[in-house]
Amino acid sequence: MSTAQPRLKRERKRSREIFERAENVLVGGVNSPVRAFKSVGGEPLIIERGSGQYLYDADGNELLDYVCSWGAMILGHANPAISEAIAEQARRGTSFGVTTELELELATLITRAIPFIEKIRFVSSGTEATMSAVRLARGVTKQDFIVKFEGCYHGHADSFLSQAGSGLATLGIAECPGVPAPLAALTLNVPYNNLGAVERVFSQHKGKIAAVIVEPIAANMGVVVPETDFLKGLHEICKKNGALLIVDEVITGFRLRNGSVQDNFGVEADLTTLGKIIGGGVPVAAYGGRAELMDQVAPLGPVYQAGTLAGNPLAMSAGIAALKQLTKPGLYDEITQMAQRLAVGLCAGLAEAGIPGEVNAIGSLATVFFTLGPVKNYANAKRSDTKRYARFFREMLDRGIFLAPSQFEAAFVSAVHTPQDIDRTLAAAHEAFQVISSESAD
């Protein structure tokens, strides 16, 4: 076995100093909660630059990155074509407040790759995309209830904040203050991978449900894979009851293939949301679907939704440069092979160290759960020993490897990770698992 990376070289003095100053002016020193490392402990990272599969912190430490900006950076950091496209557009102007041909170009790349998205609307964050898709579903069906799954995350709009994944799972926020109770009551939570539970809420709220929103692969409670026919079954229930299916592909879109992961599961949602990868690391998200549905959005229809910086030319240029590179033959097979090598190795490492664990992996997504038995839903995921995950995270970071700073997030493998990177990661994991198993022996 190859040796793990040496310990981080320097005291992270400068990072600490910057973070302490940040805490005075930014809430918790961050602009998104999980960045504060609250559930894993240790010093939050302050990053100065990225290149390929690496991040460099303010103290000059090199970190092998499996967070990849929460999945957005599938081509690695500072991808030359994306950087060049942004720089060139910046010289022509950064925002015009009216339409550019770039919007047409990115829309065409997306609708060609995902033909059941006939028309699309660009927004600037995944939250806006899912929020707008739900508004459209409510506007079209004239119903108010929505169904979502425990442990799925769809951004931070009011309707999505109960029993949600990602940062809410990380911080243990089950219900969010500030969301009016009458609005929260319109969100019906059911367990992931449980069609029977979906059937039941539909019979309890007959004719009143506007939409079901789902992550086609759940990646915000850690990775949880849908069972065969779960997504198909959902769509059938929706059709039978006059509700719309919204498939939230903010993570999965262009992550497992050049297009939608729905093709893997034989579904074509009424509405699909995209984000992260389609912006090439710049804020872009979108919602889209059949033309007759999307034509209900203003200016063609009465469902209002707008954005000052929506379709921003810098962001469109970055997205175009990213998606053009994702058509390369064999690219996704290679990324998947890397991720499989990682998942299989982690599984073996757990077994060797005698640590009860499960590795859920699909495509280029993976999560280590410190629990026995399959993880098929949020209740299963919550059984994971998050203290062990925190230990694992810190031991890996100490060896120069940056995993998600929360049990309830995915590890993302990118097109620039190499077999050597994976082997180095597994060597580090081997050492980390030894530390964990010796601690639990105490």
**Residues designated as active site:** 153, 248, 276
- Name the phi and psi angles at 241, rounded to 5: -110, 10
Which residue number has the CB closest to ligand PLP? 126
Q: Closest separation between CB of residue 160 and ligand PLP, Å?
A: 8
Q: CB nearer to ligand PLP: give 122 or 153.
A: 153
Q: How far is the CB of 45 from ligand PLP (least distance, A)?
A: 18
CB of 12 to ligand PLP, least distance (A): 26
The CA distances from residue 113 to 145, 237, 253, in Å, are 31, 27, 10
If one asks whether residue 408 binds ligand PLP (CB under 6 A), the answer comes out as no
Size of the site for ligand PLP (CB under 6 A): 15
280 binds ligand PLP (CB under 6 A): no
**Rounded least distance, CB 221 to ligand PLP, Å:** 11
Pick between residue 285 and residue 422 the one whose CB is nearest to ligand PLP.
Answer: 285
In angstroms, the CA 134 to CA 131 distance is: 5
Q: Does position 409 bind ligand PLP by CB under 6 A?
A: no
CA angle centred on 170, ends 126 and 344, rounded to 5°:
85
Taking CB under 6 A as the criterion, the residue among 33, 76, 139, 155 binding ligand PLP is 155
Task: Give min distance, CB of 218 to ligand PLP, in A.
Answer: 8
Answer yes or no whether residue 139 interacts with ligand PLP by CB under 6 A.
no
Q: Which of 311/400 has CB closer to ligand PLP?
A: 311
Q: Among residues 59, 215, 398, 421, which is the contact residue for ligand PLP, using CB under 6 A?
A: 215
Toward ligand PLP, which CB reaches closer, 276 or 424?
276
Q: For residue 103, which of 122, 86, 129, 130 has the smallest C-alpha distance? A: 122
366 near ligand PLP, rule: CB under 6 A? no
> Taking contact as CB under 6 A, which single stretch among the options 147-155, 174-182, 225-233, 425-433 is the one that binds ligand PLP?
147-155
> Which of 172, 104, 49 has its CA nearest to residue 316?
104
Binding-site member from 188, 211, 225, 250 for ligand PLP (CB under 6 A): 250
Q: How far is the CB of 289 from ligand PLP (least distance, A)?
A: 16
What is the distance between the alpha carbons of residues 427 and 406, in angstroms, rounded to a whole number?
21
- What is the C-alpha to C-alpha distance for residues 285 and 276, in angstroms, rounded to an integer? 7
Judged by CB under 6 A, which stretch of 4-12, 245-253, 319-327, 382-390 contacts ligand PLP? 245-253
318 token code pair: 């970055």
Within positions 114 to 133, which residues make up the interface with ligand PLP, using CB under 6 A?
A: 125-127, 130
Of 248, 385, 398, 431, the residue at the interface with ligand PLP (CB under 6 A) is: 248
- Phi, psi for 290 (deg, rounded to 5): -60, 145
Which amino acid would we find at residue 385?
D
Tell me which residues touch ligand PLP (CB under 6 A): 70, 125-127, 130, 153-155, 215, 220, 248, 250-251, 275, 285
